[in-house]
Amino acid sequence: MSGKNVADQRLLAVFAHPDDESFGPGGTLAHYAGQGAEVHLVCATHGEVGDVSPELLGEHQDIAQLREHELRCAADYLGLAGVHFMGYRDSGMPGTPDNHHPRALAAANPDEVAGKVLAYMQELKPQVVITFDPIGGYRHPDHIAMNKATLQAFEMARQAGKAYQPQKLYYHTFSKRWLRFFLRLLPLFGQDPHHFGRNGDIDLTDLAAVDFPIHTRIRYAEVADRKEQASACHRSQQDGGPSGIVGMLLRRFNGPETFMRAFPPASKDTRESDLFEGVDFSLP
Q: Tell me the mean pLDDT per 10 residues along the chain, length 284.
A: 72 97 96 98 94 85 95 98 98 90 96 98 98 94 97 95 92 87 84 80 86 96 95 82 43 76 96 98 92
- Tens digit of each residue's pLDDT (9 = 90 or more) over 95-133: 889 999 999 999 999 999 999 999 999 999 999 999 999
Residue 282: exposure state from Cβ atoms within 10 A (0-12, 13-18, ≥19): exposed
pLDDT for res 188: 85
- Tens digit of each residue's pLDDT (9 = 90 or more) over 64-88: 999 999 999 999 999 999 999 999 9
6-175+211-263 in CATH: which number? 3.40.50.10320
Q: Is 253 left (phi over 0), alpha (psi -120 to 50) or beta?
A: alpha
Q: How many CA atoms lie within 13 A of 6 on its CB side?
A: 8
Pairing verdict, β 38-45 and 257-263: unpaired
Coil vs helix vs strand at 1: coil
Rounded distance between C-alpha atoms, residue 94 and residue 139, angstroms: 8
Is residue 260 within 8 Å of residue 173, measured between CB atoms? yes
pLDDT for res 242: 41
Domain locations in the chain as residue ranges: 6-175+211-263
Cis upstream peptide for 126 (omega within 30°):
no
